[in-house]
Structure 1
Amino acid sequence: MSPNLSPSTPQRSCTLPLLKRTPSRTTLSISHSVKKRRRVSIATFDIEAELGVTTAPQTAVEETDADRFLAARFTTSLPLNTTPRTNRIAKAFGLMDDRVLNYGEATTPPVQTKVRSLLRRCASELLSVPRAASTISAKSNLAVRKQFVMALDGPGISRDLFASPMAWSHSNCICVAFKSNVYFQNLDTRAIVHLCRVSLMEGLVHSVDWDNKTNPHILALGTTNATVQAWDSLTQKQVADWSNDKSPVGGMHWNENVLAVGRKDGRVSLFDIRTPHQIQEVEGHKRQVHGVKWSPDGRFLATGDHTGSIHVWDMRARDHLTINDRRVLMKHDGPVKSISWAPWQDGLLATGGLFPDGKIQLWSIHKATTSLTINTSTNITSLHWSPHCKEILSTHGSSWGPWHVVRHAEPLPKQAPRTAFTNSMTVHAYPSCDKIVSVNAHSAVIGHSCIGPDGCSVFTVSPIEETIKMFKVWSAPAEKGKDDGGLGYQCTIR
């Protein structure tokens, strides 16, 4: 029988009370992310429309060059790599589209003014200082004053284009050969001395050359009848006579006590001032040797003959430098008389050819290839490197045109044209070979020239004009230790 339940009696529940579970970290993160998504996913609205404010459009930047190290694109439509190969590749991949291969037209009009670019250009123009010519260069000396410094009379000088009738000693004496007589003048005292006179049997004086710093008062002379003598300018007496050979003399040059003499039969004879006989003989040429020049260190001897062949002989190895088992190291298309070694670079040799060559070629004996060529279409009678700067001087005679150059033609045409190099003294820059200055030193052919002991002045001689002139071509560098006006202090990097 069920008991009676009154309303005032509380009713007991039969179910167990619910436990409040603490959510795990995973649940929290999920619920938190859901709420966060709900919070951030609020519908966006237009602030300008709600507030009723209109903002001014952003103005275009005047400077279009974002980076001064990167070039800006062109505003005009230019093809981008539209080469036939590019078109084939683009067609194979289905990329034949103007959007890919071409620049598009600028959507905005190009800016008319570029403030930063203008400022940069103006600043660069203000800060850029034009490079002044070096005071050593011929551009600051011969180009400024093209007139000669001194002029001497020279009647009776040999008109042979292959002769070397003049030389300048380290003791500042200029020597000139007049037919059978040899004179020299001391440029410090201006005293003129008649050194010697050769007999008619010995022929005419063809070449003269002073010894170097070892014996600056010793002069060697060679005649057209194979006479080779050495004279002392202080005592005016003959100190050596090497006239046992029958071959006429060509060019000659001293190397301390050793004298190299070119011969008409192609030999080069070596004499020592301390011995009365020939000490050695160098063979290799087939025709007369016109040019003979020792290198500044005395190791190499360069010679040029009538066929244009250039040989270089190694003094230490006692043999020629060879190329592919050949002794001919270099070649011109005409006779070679002018040879000069660069005093500031080892193995750099300059040679000049006569008609029909007319070229100055700059060689490196270590590479055995022609590095640079200057075409003048004019006889090159002498070459001189500047010891103070990288410039080379050349003296010239008659010129010719392309129609005058005939193979195996020896004499020059009777009516030779005049060019910028005709009868001139020209200075070239190295290695650009640009013409720095050209002076018409004489009204006739310049037969020979010699450089002074200071390396700044040059004497030129014109046998037809019978005049000897001295020009100041370069300047010597300033001595070390002099005040440079504070330049060294200003250029100090701290």
Structure 2
Amino acid sequence: MRRMLRDFVGMRRHRPFQGLNDAHHTPYKRFRRRITQRSSSEGPAASTPLVTGRQCEPGFEFDAVCQRLELDSPSRHHEPEERDLHGNRQETALAGGVSHCGAATSPCTISARGSHATENAPEQGWVWRAGVQEHGNAPQSGSDGRGHDLHPFAALDKASVGLPGKPLMKLAAPSLLNDYYTNLLDCSCNGMIALALGSSVYIWNSESRAPVGYLSPSPQPGGLYCQTPSVSFLCWSRDGRALCIGTRSGEIQLWDVDHEKNVRCLPSHLSVVRALSWKQQLLSSGCVLGHIHHLDTRVPTPLVGAAVHEEGICSLQWSPGDDWLASGSTGGHLCIWDSDVAGPTRSRKPITTMKQPSTVKAMAWCPWQRKMIATGGGWKDGELRIWDTEPGTCVTSADTNSQICSLRWAKERRYLVTGHGLPHHQVTCWTWEFPSLSPIYQLTGHSHRILHLALNPDSTQIFSAGADQCLHIWDM
């Protein structure tokens, strides 16, 4: 082959083309014919495309998947406009109940992919450790245990008497990721606070005000720690028995906190897990690429349904009666899906779609008004809205003049709580008596935007975590 190429180059050097007549084209035609004849008899030549080493399964359906994900936190002043995500592979193909899942994971992350329950925590990236008091030998937050003097949940300030508009307690939350699109704080029906700091998750009893335990990267031989991806979303199951954790590498894990063990690793996304929501034993998850997975945690092959958003998902929640699933996108679309999760992915469409000018990240169903849902707008919008999902219309709204980062309903007290960014970084409580939406409390104390909110079971306390790496407890 090299000799033929050398001969051809020599012909070109001594007999350059002077025109486009057949005489001048003859040497190249002869060369091409010789290459073709030799290729057919001796296998692929260097100039022919070679077969790739990795073959795709027959029937695997290709789809658009971005190879470069926008994982960085948005700036303090706005949420970035996320571009369309294109690539060459689909996250999940549903065929006869069989799922094909994958994710880019580090060697220390979970290897089981949902077909078997695993209990050997040290081999799975995280290990459970007992809680310690704030002045004991508590671990540092993050994945490497360095660089912070404050322990998670260490008391920074404690008020002897609750003052109006001021926090009852101020606790440390070092290494709390300043990312608008994450959800790193949740309170169970038993009053257990889960807080994700870097690649560790800490559990704190809000009633006894004592640490329960924490999940941290498992140590490796030589004193090194596993490079576990940071947590992007966490939520408790409705009965408070299981803690579900989603990571930036697309992993989803279930932990039994009472028995201090990993219960299940579920099929993962190929991108950041942005949202998780429970419907009895069904767990729905959404990712940055716009895919929704419905997972039954009781069966060996948990993936039972899927749907696809046109934009990246940043919020997901089942209605209190489990009749509808709401999903919010980075493009400002609020979609309502019915409860039938089975069926081919491509045939599933939302029953209602509503549009707001900014990302639908702060979102929650009203617990006592069927089909009503509240959303908060980003910095471009700053509008708090309540939607009637049946006709798909906004029934009332209020201008907050600030970024709405988080939103929760206080079921027992029947008010709405919002966490804000610039300019005041406040927590606002609202009453809603149709059609009016009015602020009743404004709680100040954070120095940066309030990214996460949670409430205790009887709605008497509000927990807020901000980009100032502080956790505040407000007594209502």
- Following TM superposition, by how much is the alpha carbon of 1:278 offset from its aligned partner in structure 2, in angstroms? 3.5
* Mapped partners of 2:293, 2:342: distance in 1: 13
Report the residue type matching 2:430 in the other structure.
H
Given the superposition, is the C-alpha separation of residues 243 and 202 from structure 1 closer, same or farther in structure 2, using an over 3 Å criterion? farther
- 1:193 maps to 212
Aligned to 1:305: 329
Distance 1:317 1:248, change over 3 A: closer
- Check whether the contact 1:181–1:194 (CA below 8 A) recurs between aligned residues: no
Q: Which of 206, 224, 246 matches 2:232? A: 206
**Structure 2 alignment gaps of length 5 or more:** 1-160, 219-225, 344-348
C-alpha displacement of 1:277: 3.6
Could you tell me which residue of structure 2 aligns to residue 470 of structure 1? 473
Quote the Cα distance in structure 1 between the aligned partners of 2:264 and 2:412: 35
Kept in 2, the 8 Å contact 1:284–1:327? The answer is no
Specify the alignment match of 1:378 in structure 2.
402
Q: Whose Rg is larger?
A: 1
| Corresponding residue for residue 253 of structure 1 | 277
Partner of 2:456: 452
Amino acid of the residue matched to residue 212 of structure 1? R
Residue in 2 aligned with 1:388? 412
1:427 alignment partner, one of 426, 429, 438: 429
Q: TM-score, normalised by structure 2?
A: 0.60
Any conservation in 1 of the 2:335–2:350 contact (CA below 8 Å)?
no
Alignment partner of 1:177 out of 177, 196, 201: 196
Contact kept? 2:176, 2:469, Cα under 8 Å:
yes
Alignment match of 2:169 (pick from 150, 160, 163): 150
Q: In the superposition, relative to structure 1, how do residues 329 and 235 fare at CA in structure 2: closer, same or farther (>3 Å)? A: same
CA distance in 1, matches of 2:249, 2:473: 31
Q: CA deviation at 1:171?
A: 1.3
**CA–CA distance in structure 2, aligned partners of residues 318 and 364 of structure 1:** 26
**Match of residue 82 from structure 1:** none
For 1:146, the aligned partner's letter is: G
Question: Contact 1:242 / 1:276 at 8 angstroms: preserved in 2?
Answer: no
Output the CA distance in 2 between the equivalents of 1:285 and 1:457: 35
Contact 2:371/2:388 (<8 A) preserved: yes
- Cα drift, residue 201 of structure 1: 5.2
Which residue identity is paired with 1:334?
A: S
Separation (CA, whole Å) in 1 of partners of 2:162 and 2:196: 30
Change (3 A) 1:311 1:256: same
TM-score, normalised with respect to structure 1: 0.58
1:299, 1:352 → 2: CA distance? 22
Cα distance in 2 for partners of 1:272, 1:257 equals 6
Letter in 2 for 1:152: L
C-alpha separation in 2, matches of 1:390 and 1:454 = 11
Partner SS state of residue 147, structure 1: coil
Q: What is the CA-CA distance between 1:165 and the residue it aligns to?
A: 0.6
Q: Conserved in 2, the CA contact under 8 Å of 1:312 and 1:329? A: yes
> Which of residues 444, 447, 454 in structure 2 aligns to 1:443?
447
Contact 2:165/2:441 (<8 A) preserved: no
Residue type of the partner of 1:210?
W
Misfit runs of 4+, over 4 Å: 198-202, 316-319, 325-328
Cα contact 1:202–1:224 (8 A) shared by 2:
no
C-alpha contact (below 8 Å) 1:185/1:191 kept by paired residues: yes
Task: Write out aligned runs for 1:392-431 (5 A).
Answer: 392-398=416-422, 418=423, 422-430=424-432, 431=434
Deviation at residue 457 of structure 1 after TM alignment: 1.6
Q: Which runs of 5+ in 1 are unaligned?
A: 1-141, 320-324, 399-417, 474-494
Whole-angstrom CA distance in 1 between matches of 2:453 and 2:462: 7
CA distance in 1, matches of 2:441, 2:300: 46
Tell whether the 8 Å contact from 1:249 to 1:264 is kept in structure 2 after alignment.
Answer: yes
Q: Map of 1:255-274 to 2, 5 A cutoff?
A: 255-274=279-298
Which residue number corresponds to residue 338 of structure 1? 362
- Cα distance per residue 1:331-390 (max 9 Å; x no partner): 111111111111111111101121322211101112321111112231111112232354
| 1:153 to partner: Cα distance | 0.8
**Structure 2: which amino acid aligns with 1:458?**
I
Q: Deviations along 1:377-423, whole A, 9 cap, x unmatched? A: 3111111223235431111112xxxxxxxxxxxxxxxxxxx3xxx31
**Cα 1:247–1:317, aligned 2, differ >3 Å: closer, same or farther?**
closer
Equivalenced residues, count = 303
Q: Deviations over 1:411-453 (max 9, x none)?
A: xxxxxxx3xxx31111222131122121224121111111211
CA distance in 2, matches of 1:183, 1:435: 32
Cα RMSD of the aligned pairs, angstroms, is 2.4
Q: 2 CA distance for matches of 1:190 and 1:370?
A: 40
Distance 1:313 1:350 in 2: 16
Distance 1:244 1:174 in 2: 25
Deviations 1:244-275 (A, max 9, x none): 43122001122222221111110111222213
Kept in 1, the 8 Å contact 2:232–2:272? The answer is no
The answer as to whether partners of 1:384 and 1:392 remain within 8 angstroms in 2 is yes
